[in-house]
Amino acid sequence: MPSNKVPSEDRRETVLEVKDLRTSFRTSTGIIKAVNGLSYDVKTSECVGIVGESGCGKSAGAMSILRLIPHPPGLIEGGEVLFFGEDLLKVTEKRMRNIRGNRIAMIFQDATTSLNPVLTVGLQLSESLEAHQGFSRSEAQQESARLLGLVGIPDASKRIEDYPHQFSGGMQQRIMIAMALACTPDLIIADEPTTALDVTVQAQVLELLQELRAELNMAVLIITHNLGVVARYVDRVNVMYAGSVVETGPTDQIYASPKHPYTIGLLASVPRLDGPTRENLRAIDGLPPDLAQLPEGCAFAARCAYAMERCSSEKPTMEKVGPEHFRACFYDLEKLSR
pLDDT digits (tens, 9 = 90+) for 316-337: 999 999 989 999 999 987 777 6
| Any domain includes 93 | no
- Model pTM score: 0.89
Q: Picking from 102-106, 212-216, 268-272, which range would have the lowest pLDDT averaged per residue?
A: 268-272
Mean pLDDT computed over 238-257: 95
- Number of structural domains (the chain) is 1
| Any domain includes 313 | yes
Angle between helices 199-216 and 169-181 (to 10 degrees): 10
| Any domain includes 18 | no
| Any domain includes 318 | yes
| Any domain includes 170 | no
Q: Which residues contact 171 (CB under 8 A, 6 or more apart)?
A: 153
For 6-30, write each residue's pLDDT tens digit.
Answer: 444 455 799 999 999 999 999 988 9
> What are the strands, taking DSSP E only, across 28-113?
30-43, 47-51, 74-83, 86-87, 104-107
Q: Which residues contact 32 (CB under 8 A, 6 or more apart)?
A: 24, 25, 26, 291, 292
| Any domain includes 250 | yes
| Any domain includes 269 | yes
Mean pLDDT computed over 138-161: 91
In this prediction, residue 50 has a pLDDT band, given cuts at 50, 70 and 90, of very high
Residue 1 reports pLDDT greater than 50: no
| Any domain includes 230 | no
Question: What range does the domain containing 319 cover?
Answer: 244-274+282-337
